[in-house]
Amino acid sequence: MDSEALRKYSALHPKPAGLTLQYGTAGFRTKAEQLDHIVFRMGLLAILRSKAVTATIGIMVTASHNPEEDNGVKLVDPLGEMLHPSWEEYATQLANAEEQELQKVITEICQKAAVNLHKDASVFIGRDTRPSSKKLSQSVIDGIQVLGGQYHDYGLVTTPQLHYMVCCQNTQGQYGKATLEGYYEKLSKAFMELIKQSHCSGESQRHLKIDCANGIGALKLSEMKAYFPQEVLIHIYNDGTKEKLNHLCGADFVKVHQKPPGGLDMKPNERCCSFDGDADRIVYYYKDTAGHFHLIDGDKIATLISIFLKELLAKVKQNFKMAVVQTAYANGNSTRYLQETLKVPVHCVKTGVKHLHHKAQEFDVGVYFEANGHGTVLFSKAAETKIRQLVKEEKDDEKREAAKMLENMIDLINQTVGDAVSDMLVIEAILALKGLTVQQWDALYTDLPNRLLKVQVADRRVIDTTDAERRALTPPGLQEKIDALVKKYKLSRAFVRPSGTEDVVRIYAEADTQENADALAHEVSLAVFHLAGGKGAPPQP
C-alpha cells in the first residue's frame, strides 16, 4: 500500500468534521455535497473486497427514489448480491475514520478479512442521472487507483444493470454477456420467445404507459426499444428532459400518495406503471371508468407471477418446491389469497431486501416482492438445470412447451436483484399469455384498507421485535396493548417496528374498513407514544 498516495488523495477528498454515516441496506445516502470522501473511500473498500474474494465487485452511485439533491453509493458482491453484512461494518468504519487513521483502518480490515494486498482486483462502476453522480464516480476511481486496481466504468446504467454485469463477469459469461447490448439481447429475446406463444391479439392490450421518474430508466428503456419489434408499444413519460428526478413522480411517489404521477395523462382503463429513480422498483396502476385510481403494488405483482409459475410447474410434473416470501407490510388479503386460493407456501421475513433474497434462495422457485414494488424470482441451480434439460429432451409436447416457457422466464428475470425493466417485461408477457386485462389482474383479490403512521421517540432502540417484526418484545406491556386494540376490529392486525435510519417508530394497521384501519393505527400510535418514550405532542387522529 502506497501511504504517500493514500495521504495525497485522501486530502483531495476530505471528510467534513463531525459527520458520521451508517452503511445500511441502501448503502450510504445523504446530501450529495457530503459524499465526496465517502465515495472515494468506497473505491478503496471495493478494491479490498475484490482482493478478499478474488472476484469483480460493483460500485453504484445512486440515491434511488430520494430527491435529486441527494446521492448515495453502494457496493455489489460477486454474484450481483448486496454487500456481505460483515463488510457493511467495515464500510461504516472506513467512512467515519478520521483522515490520519485511514491507513490504520485499512490495515485492520485487511487483517480481519484476510485480505492479500498483492492479489489483483477489479471493480465495475455505474451511476444514475443525478447532476452530482459523474463527479462522485470520478472520486470512486481515485480510490480504486490509490490501491492499484483495475476498473471498468459503465457510466449511466440502472442499478439492476450494474448488478447484472457483475454477475455475468464473475460467472465467466454463464449468466450472460457483461455489456448493455448483452443485457438488452438476453431480455428481449426471452420476452419475444414468450409472447410468440400468446394467442391474444388486441392492439389495446399491448399499449403501456411508463413513468420513468425523470431518471435513468427512461434512457435505458429508449435504448432497449430498438431490440423490440413494432408490436411492442411502450410509451415513455417523465423522461428527465423537463422535470427533476423523482419530483411528484416515480414508483415511491405513486405508492405513498396512492395517486397517479404528474406528467402522465391517464385515460380510463389504460395500463400504466412507474419505475423509481434507479429503476429497481415498479408498481402498476389504472383509473376505472368512474375515475377511481387503482394501485397494483408488489404484493399483487408477486401474486400474478406466482399464478403463472405455479401453472407451468404443474405441467412439467417435477417435484419443485415453490414459495413466496413477504414482509409484515404485505397486505393480509394477498397472504390469504396465496395460501388459501393458490395453495402456495408463504414465508414472512424481516423488512429489507437482503432478508427476502436470502429466504427465497431456500426454494427451487422463490418469488419475493416488497409491497413497494422491489422484487424478483430466484431459481435454484438444480431447478434451472432440470428445466433446460426438459426443453432439450422431453418427448411430451405439453411438458416440453411448459418447460420452454419456464426457460424463457428464467432468462427474462434478473435474478440478481429487483429490476423494473425486467419485472415489467415479465408482467407484460404474463398478461398477454393469460389474456388478462389490468382490471382482471386487480380483481384477483381486494386489498384490506390499511394505514402507515410514524411516531417520534427519544430512542428507537427501546423497541425490540420478534416473529419477523410482527410482535414487540419491548417495552413491556406494548404488545399486550396492541393485541387488545386489534381485538376491537374485524380482519385486523397491527405491528410496530423501529426505523432503520431515524428515531421514529413505524406503525402499520389494517382492518375491514378504512375508518377502522385509521382508528386502529391511531390507537396503536398513542400506545407507542406513551410506552416507548414519544417526543413532542401526542399523535392526533
Q: Which residues contact 457 (CB under 8 A, 6 or more apart)?
A: 463, 503, 504, 505, 528, 529, 532, 533, 534, 535
Omega of the bond leading into 475 within 30 degrees of 0 (cis): yes
Q: Identify the H or E element spanning 322.
A: strand 322-327
Catalytic site residues? 64
Q: Are both 17 and 128 inside the same structural domain?
A: yes
Mind listing the pLDDT tens digit of every residue in the chain (541 residues)? 788 999 999 999 999 988 899 898 889 999 999 999 999 999 999 999 999 999 999 999 999 988 999 999 999 999 999 999 999 999 999 999 999 999 999 999 999 999 999 999 999 999 999 999 999 999 999 999 999 899 999 999 999 999 999 999 999 999 999 999 999 999 999 999 998 877 655 544 578 999 999 999 999 999 999 998 777 789 999 999 999 999 999 999 999 888 999 999 999 999 999 999 999 999 999 999 999 999 999 999 999 999 999 999 999 999 999 999 999 999 999 999 999 999 999 999 999 888 999 999 999 999 999 999 999 999 999 999 999 999 999 999 999 999 999 999 999 999 999 999 999 999 999 999 999 999 999 999 999 999 989 999 999 899 999 999 999 999 999 999 999 999 999 999 999 999 876 788 999 999 999 999 999 999 999 999 999 999 999 999 8
Residue 398: what pLDDT?
93
For 490, the grid coordinates are: 374485524
Q: Are both 141 and 109 inside the same structural domain?
A: yes
Structural domain span for residue 464: 450-532
Q: Does 538 map to a domain?
A: no
Residue 457: what pLDDT?
93
**Total structural domains in the chain?**
4
Cα atoms in the 13 Å half-sphere on the side-chain side of 260:
24
Distance CA(310)–CA(342), nearest Å, equals: 8
Provide the annotated binding site. Answer: 64, 276, 278, 280, 370-372, 497-501, 506
Which one, of 467, 426, 486, lies nearest residue 298 by Cα? Answer: 426
For 32, the grid coordinates are: 450529495
Q: Are both 116 and 260 inside the same structural domain?
A: no
Longest dimension (CA), the chain: 71
DSSP letters, 260-283, are PPTT--PPTT--EEEE-TTS--EE
Q: Are both 8 and 127 inside the same structural domain?
A: yes
Q: Are both 20 and 143 inside the same structural domain?
A: yes
Q: Are both 103 and 192 inside the same structural domain?
A: no
Q: Does 176 map to a domain?
A: no
Q: Does 374 map to a domain?
A: yes
Q: Are both 57 and 76 inside the same structural domain?
A: yes
pTM confidence score? 0.94
Provide the annotated binding site for substrate. Answer: 370-372, 497-501, 506
Q: Are both 250 and 309 inside the same structural domain?
A: no
Q: Are both 7 and 144 inside the same structural domain?
A: yes
CATH assignment of the domain containing 351:
3.40.120
Q: Are both 137 and 191 inside the same structural domain?
A: no
